[in-house]
């Protein structure tokens, strides 16, 4: 195994930016282990506007690594994740033991970088998964993101309490997505 200094020099030569390879990879690996694949977008935007096209998302488990300093600090999630509660019936929220707006608030907080919100969402979804067998086919939910999510929960995990991501506190993106009243 190479010393970290040599790894960082090789990475700087390969990608043209200076960064700490080991800490970045540790963050990406933990994120990839915990978050369901169906919520993660395939593409993200380059930080440098002169680069052509979109970058493959390094947060996505099936895609190659790109240094985080080369991409914008926007959430790497699909926007459909935030719309999920609007497409679910009231029975869904009774089963998981929460209200629609509370669940949506956790999703928004998670989307914007509060990783502790993932642990709350995860607990609600595990509650749903444990009860879905008892429901048989009486409970109909949309065959969209929720189907994929329940299947992928098998490999999902809770995030450590001290886990942080680079897009948290990105107020510019919050204003763009939700308006100025949400960011304050």
pLDDT in tens, 113-127: 888 899 888 888 887
Q: Decide if pLDDT at 182 tops 80.
A: no
The predicted structure's pLDDT at residue 175: 63
Read off the pLDDT of each residue in 165-178 and give the average, rounded to a whole number.
Answer: 69
Q: Decide if pLDDT at 20 tops 90.
A: no
Please tell me the pTM assigned to this model.
Answer: 0.79
The predicted structure's pLDDT at residue 31: 92
Q: Decide if pLDDT at 60 tops 90.
A: yes
Hey, is 71 helix, strand or coil? strand
Q: Supply the DSSP symbol for 35.
A: S
The residue extents of the domains of the chain are 41-72, 80-183
Average model confidence (pLDDT) for the chain?
81
CA Rg value for the chain: 18
The predicted structure's pLDDT at residue 177: 64
Interatomic CA distance for residues 39 and 54, integer angstroms: 18
* HSE-up of residue 38 (Cα within 13 Å, Cβ side): 18
Residue 86: partners with Cβ closer than 8 Å, 6 or more residues away: 104
pLDDT in tens, 65-95: 999 989 988 889 887 788 888 888 888 888 8
* Terminal-to-terminal C-alpha distance of the chain: 46
The predicted structure's pLDDT at residue 7: 83
Cα angle vertex 147, ends 164, 120, to 5°?
35
pLDDT band at 112 (very low <50, low <70, confident <90, very high): confident
Secondary structure E strands in the chain: 43-44, 55-56
Read off the pLDDT of each residue in 27-49 and give the average, rounded to a whole number.
Answer: 90
The predicted structure's pLDDT at residue 170: 64
The predicted structure's pLDDT at residue 149: 78
Matching residue, tokens 């949506």: 104
């Amino acid at each position: 195994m190479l010393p970290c200094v040599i790894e960082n020099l090789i990475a700087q030569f390969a990608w043209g930016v200076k960064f700490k390879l080991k800490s970045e990879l540790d963050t990406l690996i933990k994120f990839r282990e915990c978050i369901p694949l169906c919520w993660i977008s395939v593409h993200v935007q380059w930080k440098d506007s002169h680069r052509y096209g979109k970058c493959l998302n390094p947060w996505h488990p099936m895609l190659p690594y790109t240094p985080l300093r080369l991409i914008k600090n926007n959430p790497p999630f699909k926007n459909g994740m935030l719309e999920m509660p609007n497409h679910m019936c009231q029975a869904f929220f009774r089963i998981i033991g929460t209200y629609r707006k509370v669940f949506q608030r956790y999703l928004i907080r998670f989307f914007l970088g509060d990783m502790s919100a993932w642990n709350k969402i995860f607990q609600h979804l595990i509650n749903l998964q444990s009860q879905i067998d008892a429901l048989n086919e009486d409970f109909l939910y949309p065959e969209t993101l929720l189907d994929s999510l329940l299947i992928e929960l098998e490999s999902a995990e809770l995030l450590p309490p001290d886990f942080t991501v680079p897009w948290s506190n990105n107020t510019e993106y919050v204003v763009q997505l939700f308006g100025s009243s949400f960011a304050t």
